[in-house]
Amino acid sequence: MLRRALSVCALAVALPATALVPGGIASAAADDTPRPAIERYAPSAVPDRVALIPTEDPARSQRVSWRSNATAPKAQIIEAPAAFGDTMMDRLTPIDGTDYTRIVTVEATTSTVDPRTGYTNRYHAVEFRDLKPGTRYAYRVGDGTDPNGWPVTNWTAWEDFTTAETGLRDFSFVYFGDAQNYIDSAVPRVFHQAVLDRPKAKLMIHAGDLVNQTGVSDANLQIQEKEWGEWYGAAGYNNQTRNVLATPGNHEYNSSTAITAFWKPQFPFPANGPRAADGSPLEAVRQSAYYVDYQGVRYISLDSSPLQNGPVQNDVLVAQTRWFEDVLSDPRRPKWTVVTFHHPVYAGTSSRNNRIVRDNWNPLIDRYKVDLVLQGHDHVYNRGNQVKDDDATDPTKSHGAVYSISVSGGKMYELNAGANWSDNGARRRVAAENIQLYQLIDVSSDTLTYQARLANGRFFDGYRVSKPGAGWDVAKTVTDLDRDPDAAPAEHGDAQPTRTTLAAARSVVNEGEAVVLEARVAPSAAGSVQFLDGANALGAPVALDGGVASYRTSVLAAGGHALTAAFLPADGARFAPSSSTGLFVDVRNGQGVPGPKGDKGDRGDPGEKGDTGDPGTNGTNGRDGAAGPIGPVGAAGAKGEKGERGPAGRDALVTCKVTGSSSAQRVTCSVTFGARAASSRTRARLVRNGRTYAQGRISSLKPTRTIARGRYTLRIAYGGAVVAARVAVR
């Protein structure tokens, strides 16, 4: 029977002969034509883009937002019964005795957005009130048609949510960095894996740049409509069953001062943020600066774009900062505090430096003992703390706020060397690039456990905050985790736990210079340490001597390296293995320092630099777009996302020739600045999308991977700096 069923399935998918004939009347090719976004994401009478939105009192009320063409939108709610279906339609008695006449219908409010697609988006919202704390409810949304109509209806299926408990209770939430790009392909598995790992998570925090497209032209708005459709599609039912808590990024702004028209209709967050002079909500940050108290945690969203996304809006800066302090100093403030905004206090990529955020908000974060600061923007992973909060005796511990930067989408930036941390009194403990993550945070009365996991579910980084006692201002200890807290206990019987730490003599070296690593294992035990660069072993394991193992290497390629050390005990019955947290080492190519990278499209490059000329004045603030013009002498100008543009100088003529097969390629380049040709001994690096394809002297670059046709960037060490030029390989 099984064999017969399989045969029928095979016949069902066979292609008709006309599918292979050009111009066939009914060819499969017609079915393979991509469906236009204007059709794919058009609204209908059936609700979509459904999301739970937290209120000012999530124990006793709940908002829901959705989109549909309805002119009489409604929602229904009831305490979640044991069953729907025949028990409700045929008035049968359900096992739990639910009285379906207790279903409450609520009228919705409506806002509209014109995405310039030929249709209008109608966004609806309801607020369910007078709910019971810690109670499970079922709800659905629809319109004026019969919600129990047959055979079709304009109502969604019933979905469940549970109201918050009053006071501090154990629960979990999830934090995502920028989704922004590859929303329909790379992001969904990240969102879904997070929920698989924490199926009972109560909230989803998004730290800005949920989508990518900005601008107000018809074409811009059409792309925004498409990307919002993708974002809701990526989240799936997750948004319908747990609260969404989001803060806007610069890509939710259509200019330096105007947030996207999609934000407020989609996200009716609490209007308890900064106030205008007349006492009304400050419109510039209404529904983007707000707070929510949920089961012992105060979540605070700040809108950093009016500060860092162009000309500073001083009135918004002053109002937000004053309001932020009021919320932090509130005597009703719960024990735990989580703050989220988009632009990081300590930047992790390029030469970014969010000074206004750091100068105005970080003193309050420190003074009022905030626990977590969750950020985005940089498309890398960073985690650290202020140096003054380091434990005096244990390098794995600290005692202040923990700052995180993360990314959930597929757009990647290169790490910087961490100077924006160290120059401002902070320690970057963990850093990584070319990575997609989600973060799981488990809350209990005295501990908060944080873990960052890769898109494939693997544990990457973590720590535990211990804060015994009552009140938000009691002393706390943050301890790095060296193993997956969700993993089953290691099978080592009564083996004594160990802790491995890793340090480097220098975290920034030039290519070819030695990197000296030192691992320490406590308590001191016999065994060895395997040093790792990502998943790749660095040489053979090194035997411990007095609890210390050292390793020296000069072969790390140019770029960023996330190094770790793994302790391998000689007697597994006495001592358990352990691994260090990641240590970032930046290997630079030649004497130059990589120039700042812009925010153009998926990846920006610095403007080129000539060899003479006077520096120009700062250019106007620009949106994402094509690479900036060739810049003048001096440091390469920062380009792209609302950055300053580098000064303009003479053109550089660059030619590159690739010869040989894929197994023995050779790259020869020549570089001329004005009338002056660069020396054949000048060092350069051929890169694309953050990867190095060849490096060495321009007269004979050594390929590090196969070079295919396409556009590349040649980074040239010249005149004490690095010049970037675009070249094409054909």
Is the domain of 390 the same as that of 375? yes
Is the domain of 603 the same as that of 584? no
pLDDT in tens, 448-481: 999 999 999 999 999 999 999 999 999 999 999 9
CB atoms within 10 A of CB 351: 18
> At 565, which CATH number?
2.60.40.10
pLDDT confidence tier of residue 695, bands split at 50, 70 and 90: confident
pLDDT in tens, 28-38: 445 688 889 88
In a domain, 475, yes or no: no
In a domain, 481, yes or no: no
698 contact partners, CB below 8 Å, separation of at least 6: 668, 669, 670, 671, 678, 680, 682, 683, 684, 716
Is the domain of 355 the same as that of 210? yes
- Ramachandran sector of residue 559 (left: φ over 0; alpha: ψ -120 to 50; beta: rest): left
Nearest by Cα to 465 from 336, 569, 374: 336
> At 269, which CATH number?
3.60.21.10
Is the domain of 461 the same as that of 349? yes
pLDDT in tens, 9-31: 333 333 334 333 444 444 444 56
pLDDT in tens, 124-157: 999 999 999 999 999 999 999 999 888 889 999 9
Number of domains in the chain: 4
Give residue 506's domain range: 499-588
Quote the tokens at residue 331.
């005597």
Residues 201-218, mean pLDDT to the nearest whole number: 97
Is the domain of 583 the same as that of 516? yes
- Ramachandran sector of residue 578 (left: φ over 0; alpha: ψ -120 to 50; beta: rest): beta
pLDDT confidence tier of residue 651, bands split at 50, 70 and 90: very low
pLDDT at 670 (0 to 100)? 76
pLDDT at 653 (0 to 100)? 61
Is the domain of 234 the same as that of 217? yes
pLDDT at 324 (0 to 100)? 98
Is the domain of 385 the same as that of 325? yes
Alpha-carbon span 597 to 374, nearest angstrom: 23
pLDDT in tens, 170-192: 999 999 999 999 999 999 999 99
Q: What radius of gyration, in Å, describes the C-alpha atoms of the chain? A: 28
Is the domain of 126 the same as that of 212? no
Contacts 24+ apart (CB under 8 A), 672-677: 673/610, 673/611, 673/718, 674/610, 674/611, 674/612, 674/650, 676/611
Question: With 90 as the cut, is the pLDDT of residue 286 above it?
Answer: yes
pLDDT at 597 (0 to 100)? 45
User: Among 102-116, 266-280, 630-644, which is the least confidently predicted range?
Assistant: 630-644
Is the domain of 552 the same as that of 614? no
In a domain, 611, yes or no: yes
User: Among 253-257, 294-298, 687-691, which is the least confidently predicted range?
Assistant: 687-691
Last residue of a domain, one of 142, 166, 190: 166
Residue with tokens 């210079």: 513
User: Among 180-184, 422-426, 470-474, 657-661, which is the least confidently predicted range?
Assistant: 657-661
In a domain, 697, yes or no: yes
Last residue of a domain, one of 137, 166, 195: 166
In a domain, 493, yes or no: no
CB atoms within 10 A of CB 474: 12
Question: With 80 as the cut, is the pLDDT of residue 634 above it?
Answer: no
Q: Under DSSP, is residue 697 helix (H, G, I), strand (E, B) or coil?
A: strand
Alpha-carbon span 467 to 448, nearest angstrom: 8
Q: Under DSSP, is residue 402 helix (H, G, I), strand (E, B) or coil?
A: strand
Last residue of a domain, one of 131, 166, 201: 166
pLDDT confidence tier of residue 590, bands split at 50, 70 and 90: low
pLDDT at 721 (0 to 100)? 64
Is the domain of 432 the same as that of 295? yes
In a domain, 476, yes or no: no
In a domain, 487, yes or no: no
Alpha-carbon span 568 to 577, nearest angstrom: 5
User: Among 65-74, 212-221, 596-605, 707-716, which is the least confidently predicted range?
Assistant: 596-605
Question: With 60 as the cut, is the pLDDT of residue 249 above it?
Answer: yes
> At 96, which CATH number?
2.60.40.380
pLDDT at 491 (0 to 100)? 57
In a domain, 305, yes or no: yes
Is the domain of 248 the same as that of 354? yes
Alpha-carbon span 688 to 673, nearest angstrom: 23
Is the domain of 543 the same as that of 691? no
Q: Under DSSP, is residue 622 helix (H, G, I), strand (E, B) or coil?
A: coil
Question: With 80 as the cut, is the pLDDT of residue 730 above it?
Answer: no
pLDDT in tens, 481-528: 988 999 876 555 678 888 898 999 888 889 889 999 999 998 888 999
Q: Under DSSP, is residue 9 helix (H, G, I), strand (E, B) or coil?
A: helix
Instruction: Supply the angle between the helices 218-235 and 187-197 in degrees, to the nearest 10.
Output: 30
Quote the tokens at residue 2.
């099984």
